[in-house]
Chains A and B, each alone.
Chain A
Amino acid sequence: MALKIVKGSIDRMFDKNLQDLVRGIRNHKEDEAKYISTCIDEIKQELKQDNIAVKANAVCKLTYLQMLGYDVSWAAFNIVEVMSSSKFTYKRIGYLAASQCFHESTDVIMLTTNQIRKDLSSPNQYDTGVALTGLSCFVTPDLARDLANDIMTLMSHTKPYIRKKAVLIMYKVFLKYPESLRPAFPRLKEKLEDPDPGVQSAAVNVICELARRNPKNYLSLAPLFFKLMTSSTNNWVLIKIIKLFGALTPLEPRLCHSTSQMSFLFFLSPWLSPSSLSTSNSTSAMSLLYECVNTVILCVQKLRILIEDSDQNLKYLGLLAMSKILKTHPKSVQSHKDLILQCLDDKDESIRLRALDLLYGMVSKKNLMEIVKKLMLHVDKAEGTTYRDELLTKIIDICSQSNYQYITNFEWYISILVELTRLEGTRHGHLIASQMLDVAIRVKAIREFAVAQMATLLDNAHLLTGNTQRNGICEVLYAAAWICGEFSEHLENPMQTLEAMLRPKVATLPGHIQAVYVQNAAKLFATVLRSQEGNTDRTAAQETSQLMIDRLPLFVQSANLEVQERASCILQLVKYIQKLQQKDVEVAEEVNALFAGELNPVAPKAQKKVPVPEGLDLDAWINEPPSESESEDEKPRTMFTREETKHSRPRHTEVDEKELAKRREVRKQEQASNPFYIKSSPSSQKVYQEAPGVDHIPVVQIDLSVPLKVPGLPMSDQYVKLEEERRQKDRADKKKKEKKKRKEKGGRRGKRDSGPESEEDITPAHMVDIVTEEMPPTAICRSVSLVPPLNSPPCVPSTCQKSSKHKKKKQKKEKEEKDKKKKKKHHHHRHHSDGAGEESVQNGTVEEEEEPLPTISDAPTCSLASPPPFRQVCDIQGNLQDGSQVVVSLIFENKCDSFLKAMEFNVLDSLNSRLQRPDGAGPHDGLTVPFQLPPGVSNEARFVFTVKSIVMPQKLKGTLAFIVKNEDSSTHEKLDFKLHFTCTSYLITTPCYSDAFAKLLESGDLKASSVKLEGVVMPFPHLLARICFHHHFSVVERIDSCASMYSRSIQGHHVCLLVKTADQTVSIDAKCDEPSLLSNVLDEIKLTFSQC
């Protein structure tokens, strides 16, 4: 008591202590800043005094002010002064201030090294402790280096209090100064068996953290940890150990068993005593339990119990753990769909968000509509915009995942998108817009519907722009305008849409949208003209032109250059058209020619597939590079040039690559703002960017408090109902058919009738033409490289291919559709194989084997045999989903003048490979090619082969029978060919990380082999590219003239290459778990290079 009184009197001796400061701040709520600035002035005075007690008091106050957010870095030196006081009271305050205020760039830290060292070796353990604590906060690499030894000594201090601190600080030191790890590790390991539990747990902590960064080095400690785990009763330590084992198990499969056993024991124990579940939600038992859940994957069932728990925390963690399991075992999580959907209704946003994450993996064709319907309900109800935006992106993510795999009805999807546009103030307008564009371009069957919807949107544009000054729902109009313009032939009332697009209010939209409006108004104008010129009355057409001329000047005045430029161009054009119209000239056809052709999606990788024309070296300089800086010119000439040849070569290529990347970026941006460059991949969501200064464009606000219901727009719900009905009908139909079939076949049961619930049974409502990413590149590649007469010049195929080829495809599709209706069963098979093709790995152009046709002479000759009537190009791709399937795409080109039809494709099966024929077909029956070929036309067909062994290349003989139809006669023809299945065609380009690669090589399961190629003159990158392209490898790592490459076969064999080059000699060291596959692949690589 007496002490307290005395202490109080001392406090009063100082001007103002911490308590006074805090009280003062609380009393000056109104003018806090002013009060504090006077306080700081006082503190500055105090710091100038010699009395260390006064200084310490000042520093203490500063620490408080620092927490309130005031800058106190100016007092850093004073803090060091207080730190070096010999009195523990002040030292403690000094170190506290330092740990709060110092950071790595504080320069006075350098001054502290010796002081800290002194404190560390102080006989008073609390001095040492305080120094260690402070050090943990502001340790720099320099300090770590200088003090590592001192701290290491402290790890063996007599006091456990110091030992445990030293062990923990050591971790910070390792991070800052990794060299210290090696000498300190034995001692750290020793501490695992320290008699003091605190020190032990500290050591476990540190090793666990270290092991998380690099598990490999800590495998040897596993037995020790196992002993600890069985003996320890401290839950905190146990959790860390389990975590450590979690990190170690991927490296050492033997551990897995014991870990899971142990964890499982822990895991079950709380459940064995049910009281612990109900009473304690924050005891260690529960957190330990959760740790076990993380380690042991087979707990989905148990997770359900967590999620069903009434405690929100457990529910959250259950969902979180479930999403971890979803990545590896989607099936087991899917069975809990009901529960997860239930969680979507939870009132806790954190839980709803976690449930949303899980939904992504839950959808299937069957339940997509149902789930999205539910999400849409949530969208309506959601209060916060962040959550609503999250919902919106999730809906789009879910629907568009893996190339719209789960969407069966695109009309429904478009309606969902349109419904989403009614959200007020969402940030994701551009996302919706890009989806609309993507779907409308890629799904041809939907265009008519989409155009109708977009026209309605345009008509009601004022509803969208009402309150969207900053939030870009008006981005949707970009998509709407473009779709209406591009596919204007589907418009029911183009005139009305044209008027909607030329309304004066459009001028309030952001510039990039206006630009699209103007451009597409022109397209619409062309369409309108055509329909109006068909009429006898010419005045209508002239009135349309007049409308354009009246309205366009508004855009000509636009501040946005793009809009202005387009508008004035088009205005002049229309004026000219009007002049012609007045002379009674028909112009519609010519105007339409401006926008002729159909826009087809092209995969972003298409350009890569176009081979570089011979003789064109893309890496060569077109002009000599300018000489380097002028100062270097002073050097002797000869030396300079010599140096140039030596050093600058590699640097040039590097610069070149950078430059290329830069240009690519620029080009991408350019494409992005141009509606004619539409990428087909759904990943490129941002089709265009916001134009600068959108915010400043004045937008007339219409106050609409009522949620928007745009008249004439359908509700997506009705599709859900329709879909239900359709599926039921489908099912009924199928049953009927199946019954019939069964009668015919006398009880022979197909594999497929496993019940109406199976996933495959849901046939899409539209036979939609989804151009997958894989398809166009190969298509283009072939048409450019192999089919000589092509309208478009070969340098532009990466943009948009407005070629005639597409129409043929469309015909084919249509035909297929008819086919499908005729024979359902047959269709089914084809659909399936189509799917397989889509899933197969891209980059599949293995070898383009042009069938030499000497065999044609063996075939019965006919009048038109002189130029071979056929040309086939084949492309063999492994199927990732099924290790025994290979998809062969064949392009048939009719090179004669006659019509070819009734083509039948047949292959003589070998023991190893056989053609997949529809159920019920005999083993020697041919497959009908699903199209006919008019003269000069080519088309593609796909056939699926089952392959047993993939280690050997193989050739299959086959025949193609067809009817040649002339004007007057028709003859049967036959063509023999060989299909060459190389071993590379079984390889799939699989990316591999270098650490995984190294692990693979170390595993010792692989057999080695090597090959040397002489006289290869191409640059190393080209060489690698060639191997990647022709043989489906991916580069793992490249160092100078040495590279490691990886690929995987469809049956999971790993193939690793180490490619080295030295003056024209390339040596390839290879490893694979299947020696004969390897030697065949190497032979093929050799062949590739011997041909070049």
Chain B
Amino acid sequence: MHFLLLFSRQGRLRLQKWFTPTPEREKKKIIRDMTAMVLARKPKTCNFLHWMDLKVVYKRYASLFFCLAIDDQENELLALEILHRYVELLDKYFGNVCELDIIFNFEKAYFILDEFLIGGEVQETSKQTVARCIEASDMLQEVNVFNVLSTLACC
């Protein structure tokens, strides 16, 4: 996997994750190309595109486009499943996820992604395990906040 992009129907980027080091300028170009290409697709066409030497797999969920670039040798259907699994994970975490959830809690969306994929490989295929990890680290965070509170109270 090379990168994962989430963008809205208007072409606004909602999330970007690069699994291979990419120069800033090229990133911008890729994002521009991807949004233009994917948004131009008509409904009921297939979910695959060829771009440079990469395969681009995209899927639309509600108003968001999920777009994943994979190597030439990788499996497109598997990529679609990865996208779907990620959406499922988001759905489970936020509870009926919508675009606004991702906008306002974008860091959470990243954390979930990091538990699911790492360095361009699938890290954990089990939904339960990912959800458990996220929950646990969130708990840790809450505890932290609690600690801050108590220190503030002391002051």
| CB neighbours of B47 from chain A (8 A) | 312-313
CA distance A96 to B103 in the complex (A): 16
In the complex formed, the residue of B with least CB distance to A104 is B21
**B107–A350 touching, CB < 8 Å:** no
| CB neighbours of B142 from chain A (8 A) | 3
Query: Which one of A60, A133, A206, A347 lies within 8 Å of B114 (CB-CB)?
Result: A133
Interface residue? B98 (CB, 8 A) = no
**A137–B45 touching, CB < 8 Å:** no
**A198–B129 touching, CB < 8 Å:** yes
Interface residue? B30 (CB, 8 A) = no
| CB neighbours of A236 from chain B (8 A) | 78, 122, 125
In the complex formed, the residue of A with least CB distance to B28 is A69
| CB neighbours of B123 from chain A (8 A) | 164-165, 168, 198, 202
CA distance A578 to B125 in the complex (A): 88
DSSP class of A's interface residues: helix, strand, loop or mixed? helix
CA distance A104 to B75 in the complex (A): 29
**B111–A96 touching, CB < 8 Å:** yes
Q: A1-22 toward B: CB 8 Å interface, digit per residue (1/0)? A: 0010011001000000011001
Known contacts being A67-B106, A350-B49, is A317 close to B140, with CB within 8 Å?
Answer: no
Report the count of interface residues on A (CB-CB < 8 A): 72
A-contacting residues, B89-128, CB 8 Å: 103-104, 106-107, 110-111, 114, 118-119, 121-126
**A212–B76 touching, CB < 8 Å:** no
| CB neighbours of B73 from chain A (8 A) | 212, 243
Query: Which one of B28, B45, B104, B129 lies within 8 Å of A19 (CB-CB)?
Result: B104
A-contacting residues, B18-57, CB 8 Å: 18-19, 21-24, 28, 31, 42, 44-50
**B122–A205 touching, CB < 8 Å:** yes
CA distance A137 to B136 in the complex (A): 23
B-contacting residues, A130-154, CB 8 Å: 130, 132-133, 136-138
Known contacts being A88-B141, A124-B140, is A22 close to B121, with CB within 8 Å?
Answer: no
CA distance A460 to B151 in the complex (A): 87
CA distance A287 to B125 in the complex (A): 15
| CB neighbours of A347 from chain B (8 A) | 42, 45
**A53–B23 touching, CB < 8 Å:** no
Known contacts being A22-B103, A284-B81, A348-B45, is A313 close to B124, with CB within 8 Å?
Answer: no
| CB neighbours of A205 from chain B (8 A) | 121-122
| CB neighbours of B13 from chain A (8 A) | 67-69
Interchain pairs with CB closer than 8 A, number: 165
Report the count of interface residues on B (CB-CB < 8 A): 57
Interface residue? B152 (CB, 8 A) = yes
Query: Which one of A130, A198, A209 lies within 8 Å of B126 (CB-CB)?
Result: A198
**B46–A316 touching, CB < 8 Å:** yes
Interface residue? B144 (CB, 8 A) = yes
Known contacts being A3-B142, A89-B141, is A313 close to B152, with CB within 8 Å?
Answer: no
Interface residue? B146 (CB, 8 A) = yes
| CB neighbours of B48 from chain A (8 A) | 313, 316-317, 350
B138 to nearest A CB, angstroms? Answer: 10
A89, A99, A197: which has the most chain B beta carbons within 10 Å? Answer: A89
Known contacts being A88-B137, A234-B125, is A287 close to B104, with CB within 8 Å?
Answer: no
CA distance A325 to B90 in the complex (A): 39
Interface residue? B63 (CB, 8 A) = no
Interface residue? A87 (CB, 8 A) = yes
**A88–B124 touching, CB < 8 Å:** no
**B124–A164 touching, CB < 8 Å:** yes
9 pairs across A/B with beta carbons < 8 Å? A10-B148, A63-B107, A67-B13, A89-B144, A126-B137, A198-B123, A234-B125, A287-B77, A351-B46
Residues on A close to B: CB < 8 A? 3, 6-7, 10, 18-19, 22, 53, 60, 63-64, 67-69, 71, 87-90, 92-93, 96, 99-100, 103-104, 124, 126, 129-130, 132-133, 136-138, 161, 164-165, 168-169, 171-172, 197-198, 201-202, 205-206, 209, 212, 234, 236, 239, 243, 282, 284, 286-287, 290-291, 294, 312-313, 315-317, 347-351, 353
Top-6 shortest CB links A-B: A287-B77, A136-B119, A312-B46, A348-B45, A316-B46, A89-B144
